[in-house]
């Protein structure tokens, strides 16, 4: 295959006494004429190649057909009103609705599909005021992390003149009187650096309705700590602003309370020293409840009397369990706690004294989310999904403890035709790793069965059962879909996360390689029929594994991956990942990073599996030069005929808010590539 020419330089630099080549450093100027021409040529090559795969259009047609069903989010109440999102099937973006009661006619509050012709303007966050009459909402263009906040009157559906710009990694939290809200933002970047420069010096502001952003009151900042980030949340009773302070993606926080009724009162520094996770759950009077892993690696809920906030006075409200506490809500004097039991959801209900009062049955081996509500609500809604069951909405009555089906989608396939089982396999060091394996019930499994293995393994984020039309399409085509729950994720609490971070990161790659070896040894597939993929940190996983074990896989998809582990700190929010990866500025951590950095471990003359590297030309989460440089290096090094292709999306970012049409195109290309290289019919 004749790849587009990529100028290879002899540029290198000495880092901690080690000479490190970086022949494609010039690609970090992503808007230069040279880089732009290379990107265009790569896309033209990839599209020509994919056009030769006859199954591509049939895959797209069936995926589109399967995608065309109604989808609902779990409703929640604010100010007595009910809010939820709905997609009629193939809308690029879901539409936000509201109702006065469950029996009243739904009304459209915001339809993002009207904001752009191609669906690339997405609704990224919504916060309804306490009285249910105002909505602060943020919009993202082309998948960017940058958002713009607007305010809409719920009754009229009209926007107020308020606009907030240059906000990122922020929600909005209304004051109890609904007169304004708190949000976080950065200083306006230089125009040419908006999608590249490091995001530092975040600040917390208060916006009063009817005033310009320039008049917004600065609430919290720390010029001495440019890497600190802030999240402001008004307490349930409106008396305090709970300021959560973070350092990048570290899972430890400081908590400061600011008195909103008495501006002269000194802030209460509730949690200091960045010792543990602390997340505000709610409050009943002066007792404030927090989710934490402090003295509880599987997480618990603590009660803090803000009149006596010293740590010695903290009480356990919900004690640590054997399973991982994943989320908790305070509704009508009860804690609704969702746990992960071997990466599958279970639900437990506790009173404020920590007594278990209910354990409602979960519909199956899947994931439950939602439970949004206020302390005075008497019911909540939750969303259930599994690998073969699309999102189904249930209602839980906190008083009667009854669970009832609220909304179920009408489908053009039968979930009962599919099966999921969970296995536990040994990793290189003997640690047992869970893995979900899903396929059609009638599938005849053998070493000739195509299998797609997916994983993430980082940042304390668990991989849980989820419904995905592309995954269903893959299984319908006769493939097995497997998800491995690698170390580094959040499946088993703090210790599981730490076993896959910094100097332990190789454990993650070993876990993934061991998953592939297990699937082959057990006769589910064979190397020529085994494909792998991962996104973001999972893209790093794919890059590391194909450079460490190129012989093991039949094909690979590396999606928006972190591929240059020596320069990830230089761009956008990359510096924040030091908490999980370690720092290339630290000599010991540098050696660990260099040992697995995909870009630096590509070896010329190696036969790598057929690989498609996927990114967006202006991804401002994982800077696209990671994929550009890795792709160029792979094309230069590849021996044999296996293609190394680049699929570089335009008007797209890291993935959030991506329109349905683009998602279908993306996955149709991915599956077509795998069909070709796994020898599927």
Which pLDDT tens digit goes with each residue over 381-409?
Answer: 999 999 999 999 999 999 999 999 999 99
With a cut of 90, say whether residue 653 has pLDDT above it. no
Cα-Cα-Cα-Cα dihedral sign, residues 607, 608, 611, 613:
negative
Q: Which pLDDT score is estimated for 632?
A: 98
User: pLDDT grade, residue 656 (50/70/90)?
Assistant: confident
User: pLDDT grade, residue 248 (50/70/90)?
Assistant: confident
Q: What is the pTM of this model?
A: 0.96
Cα-Cα-Cα-Cα dihedral sign, residues 647, 653, 656, 659:
negative
- Euclidean distance between CA atoms 220 and 200, whole angstroms: 14
Which residues are marked as active site? Answer: 536, 654
Q: What is the pLDDT of residues 288-338, one digit of tens each?
A: 999 999 999 999 999 999 999 999 999 999 999 999 999 999 999 999 999
CA–CA–CA angle 437, 442, 445 (5° rounding): 55
Q: Which pLDDT score is estimated for 387?
A: 98
Q: Which pLDDT score is estimated for 199?
A: 87
Of 653 and 556, more confident: 556
User: pLDDT grade, residue 649 (50/70/90)?
Assistant: very high
Q: Helix-strand-coil percent breakdown of the chain, rounded to 5?
A: 25, 35, 45
With a cut of 90, say whether residue 603 has pLDDT above it. yes
If you average pLDDT over residues 54-77, what whole number do you get? Answer: 97
Query: What's the token pair of residue 283?
Result: 């409050």
Q: What is the pLDDT of residues 1-33, one digit of tens each?
A: 899 999 999 999 999 999 999 999 999 999 999
Least confident of 159-168, 190-199, 272-281, 468-477: 190-199
Q: Which pLDDT score is estimated for 201?
A: 92
- Euclidean distance between CA atoms 291 and 278, whole angstroms: 6
Percent of the chain topping pLDDT 90: 92
Beta bridge partners of 395: 381, 404
User: pLDDT grade, residue 668 (50/70/90)?
Assistant: very high
Average pLDDT, the chain: 96
Q: Which pLDDT score is estimated for 17?
A: 97
With a cut of 80, say whether residue 670 has pLDDT above it. yes
- Euclidean distance between CA atoms 199 and 73, whole angstroms: 32
Beta bridge partners of 438: 420, 481
- Euclidean distance between CA atoms 186 and 273, whole angstroms: 24
Query: What's the token pair of residue 524?
Result: 């589910």
Q: Which pLDDT score is estimated for 618?
A: 81
With a cut of 90, say whether residue 554 has pLDDT above it. yes
Domain locations in the chain?
Answer: 39-64+413-562+609-677, 322-411
With a cut of 90, say whether residue 192 has pLDDT above it. no
User: pLDDT grade, residue 477 (50/70/90)?
Assistant: very high
At the topology level of CATH, where does 39-64+413-562+609-677 sit? Rossmann fold (3.40.50)
User: pLDDT grade, residue 193 (50/70/90)?
Assistant: confident
Dihedrals φ, ψ of 613, to 5°? Answer: -100, 125
């Amino acid at each position: 295959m004749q790849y587009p020419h990529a100028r290879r330089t002899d540029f290198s630099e000495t880092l901690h006494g080690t000479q490190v080549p970086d022949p494609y450093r010039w690609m970090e100027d992503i808007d230069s004429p040279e880089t732009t021409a290379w990107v265009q040529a790569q896309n033209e090559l990839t599209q020509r190649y994919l056009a030769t795969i006859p199954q591509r259009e049939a895959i797209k047609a069936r995926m589109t057909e399967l995608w065309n069903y109604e989808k609902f989010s779990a409703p929640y109440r604010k100010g007595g009103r009910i809010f939820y999102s709905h997609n009629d099937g193939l809308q690029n973006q879901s539409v936000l609705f509201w109702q006065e009661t469950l029996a009243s006619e739904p009304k459209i509050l915001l339809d993002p599909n009207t904001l752009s012709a191609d669906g690339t303007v997405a609704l990224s966050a919504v916060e309804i005021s306490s009285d249910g009459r105002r909505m602060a909402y943020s919009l993202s263009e082309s998948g960017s992390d940058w958002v713009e906040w607007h305010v809409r009157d719920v009754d009229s559906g009209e926007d107020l003149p308020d606009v907030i710009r240059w906000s990122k990694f922020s929600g909005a939290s209304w004051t109890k009187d609904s007169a304004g809200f708190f949000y976080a933002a950065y200083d306006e970047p230089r125009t040419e650096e908006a999608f590249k420069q490091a995001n530092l010096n975040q600040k917390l502001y208060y916006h009063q309705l009817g005033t310009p952003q320039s008049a917004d009151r600065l609430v919290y900042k720390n010029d001495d700590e440019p890497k600190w980030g802030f999240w402001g949340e008004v307490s349930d009773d409106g008396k305090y602003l709970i300021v959560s302070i973070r350092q990048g993606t570290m899972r430890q926080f400081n908590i400061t309370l600011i008195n909103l009724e008495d501006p002269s009162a000194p802030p209460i520094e509730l949690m200091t020293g960045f010792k543990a996770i602390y997340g505000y759950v709610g409050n009943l009077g002066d007792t404030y409840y927090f989710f934490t892993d402090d003295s509880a690696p599987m997480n618990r809920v603590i009660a803090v009397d803000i009149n006596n906030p010293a740590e010695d006075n903290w009480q356990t409200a919900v004690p640590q369990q054997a399973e991982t506490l994943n989320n908790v809500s305070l509704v009508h004097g009860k804690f609704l706690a969702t746990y992960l039991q071997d990466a599958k959801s279970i639900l437990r209900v506790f009173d404020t004294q920590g007594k278990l009062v209910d354990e409602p049955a979960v519909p199956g081996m899947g994931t439950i989310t939602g439970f949004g509500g206020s302390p005075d609500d008497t019911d909540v809604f939750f969303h259930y999904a599994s690998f073969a069951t699309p999102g189904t909405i249930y209602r839980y009555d906190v008083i009667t403890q009854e669970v009832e089906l609220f909304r179920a989608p009408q489908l053009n396939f039968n979930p009962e035709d599919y099966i999921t089982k969970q296995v536990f396999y040994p990793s290189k060091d003997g640690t047992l790793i869970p893995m979900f394996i899903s396929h059609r019930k009638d599938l005849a499994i053998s070493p000739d069965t195509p299998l797609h293995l997916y994983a993430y393994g980082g940042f304390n984020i668990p991989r849980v059962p989820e419904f995905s039309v592309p995954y269903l399409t893959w299984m319908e085509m006769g493939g097995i879909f497997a998800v491995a729950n690698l170390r580094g994720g959040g499946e088993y609490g703090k210790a599981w996360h730490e076993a896959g971070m910094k100097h332990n990161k190789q454990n993650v790659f070993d876990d993934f390689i061991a998953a592939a070896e297990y699937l082959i040894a057990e006769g589910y597939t064979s190397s020529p029929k085994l494909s792998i993929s991962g996104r973001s940190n999972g893209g790093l996983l794919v890059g590391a594994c194909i450079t460490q074990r190129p012989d093991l896989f039949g094909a690979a998809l590396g999606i928006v991956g972190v591929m240059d582990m020596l320069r990830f700190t230089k761009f956008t929010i990359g510096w924040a990942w030091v908490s999980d990866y370690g720092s290339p500025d630290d000599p010991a951590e540098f050696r660990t990073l260099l040992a697995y950095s995909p870009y630096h471990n590509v070896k010329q003359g190696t036969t790598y599996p057929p690989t498609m590297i996927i990114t967006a030309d202006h991804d401002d989460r994982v800077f696209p030069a990671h994929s550009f440089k890795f792709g160029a290096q792979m094309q230069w090094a590849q021996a044999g005929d296996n293609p190394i292709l680049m699929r570089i999306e335009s008007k797209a970012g890291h993935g959030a808010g991506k329109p349905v049409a683009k998602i279908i195109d993306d996955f149709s290309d991915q599956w077509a590539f795998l069909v070709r290289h796994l020898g599927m019919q």
